[in-house]
Amino acid sequence: MYDRIIDKDNPNSALKVQTALSEQPSQVNKDYVFKLKKRKELSVDEFVNGILKQDRIILSQAITLVESNRYDHQQKAQQIIERCLPHAGKSIRVGITGVPGVGKSTTIEALGTKLTAMGHKLAVLAIDPTSEKTKGSILGDKTRMETLANDPNAFIRPSPSAGSLGGVARKTREIIILCEAAGFDVVLVETVGVGQSEVVAHSMVDFFLLLQLANAGDELQGIKRGIMEMADAISINKAELDPTKAGLAATQYRNALSLFPHNENGWKPVVFTSSAYTGDGIDKIWETIMDYVVLTKSNGHFHKKRNEQNLRILSETINSTLTERFYSNEKIQQDLEKMQKDIIEDRISAYIAAQNLIEEYFNQVVEKKNEI
């Protein structure tokens, strides 16, 4: 209601002020919070059935469980993954990496749109870097892939790296299993594009695509041997900006790759130019991927690589689990703080301190086992 009129001499004046609110409204919708508390948690069976029925909401909730660090969430997530495992493994897993600004998201949208038009079901797992200072991530990949985000045959899931590449590797592999069980036959993994993230991506995909720029300085100087050896294809992106430079860069990369030893799987890395903006070369990316899949499946290296990746997961999981349990032990936490002070004050060497802590931890494990 308008109960105060600005112009008292003119009762018909349109200048009116609404009565101020006596209390500031709550920023929290209490009714919605109550509904959230009352919301029934899905059982493992409901999660699995929903994923197999390609329910995206349930798939997203299952992925959230995988990403959670809560112990009960992790326990439930592992049960879901185990049940989904027989329905996974039928997709083509592609890793896409490159320096920031090379056009990874634009390339994925251009490639993904073509794939869904061909009848494929596409899952995009975008690993976003986590700030070491604020511990936050932007998770803005959906905004950069607006067309693909609205495609009914595409599923985009940005995930924070949380500062731990090992954790990213394990959780991303588990998310891939869930996506495959949900019927997605192509999975694209976009990496952070800096540091050791390329190694992590390579350890979980079948095909590894490296995107490079033609006008980023001396191309050969920017080549890291380890990354080059992992790449199954190199695409010089944004070629429309300067086709001549892009062609020259492609030639330089081909010459560099010719100096590397031949791959055990018989595949010779391919170098070409592309433009996600104009669409040129996008078809070439998929053609190259399919040529790779046909070759490696025919000579047995496709499944051999996946088996090697699974064995690596076993080793990494053992290491990460032992590390997590060691540092979460209350007695170890107390003694670790004391050991750190002793090391700083030169009362004990770091090596001996580490050995003492490890022995103490395993002694506790033995004692608990004997009590049982």
Secondary structure of 320-355 in HEC code, one letter for each residue: HHHHHHHHHCHHHHHHHHHHHHHHHCCCCCHHHHHH
Q: Which pLDDT score, from 0 to 100, does residue 88 have?
A: 95
pLDDT tens-digit map of 141-166 = 556 688 898 999 999 998 766 545 54
Q: Which pLDDT score, from 0 to 100, does residue 17 have?
A: 54
The pLDDT confidence band at residue 171, using thresholds 50, 70 and 90, is confident
Judge contact between 318 and 101, C-beta under 8 A. no
The pLDDT confidence band at residue 221, using thresholds 50, 70 and 90, is very low
Q: Which pLDDT score, from 0 to 100, does residue 138 have?
A: 43
Instruction: Give the length of the chain.
Output: 372
pLDDT tens-digit map of 289-319 = 999 999 999 999 999 999 999 898 888 888 8
Residue 124 neighbours by CB under 8 Å, 6+ apart: 108, 112, 141, 145, 148, 154, 155, 156, 157, 187, 188, 190
Q: Which pair of tokens denotes residue 42?
A: 């899905």
Q: Which pair of tokens denotes residue 158?
A: 């940005």
- Which residue, chain included where needed, has tokens 């033995």? 366
Instruction: Answer yes or no: is pLDDT of 322 > 50.
Output: yes
Instruction: Answer yes or no: is pLDDT of 2 > 90.
Output: no
Q: Which pLDDT score, from 0 to 100, does residue 40 have?
A: 74
DSSP three-state, residue 312: helix
Instruction: Answer yes or no: is pLDDT of 351 > 70.
Output: yes
pLDDT tens-digit map of 100-126 = 888 898 999 999 999 999 999 999 998
pTM check: above 0.85: no
Q: Which pair of tokens denotes residue 370?
A: 């004997």
Q: Which pLDDT score, from 0 to 100, does residue 199 have?
A: 73
DSSP three-state, residue 157: strand
pLDDT tens-digit map of 199-211 = 777 888 999 999 9
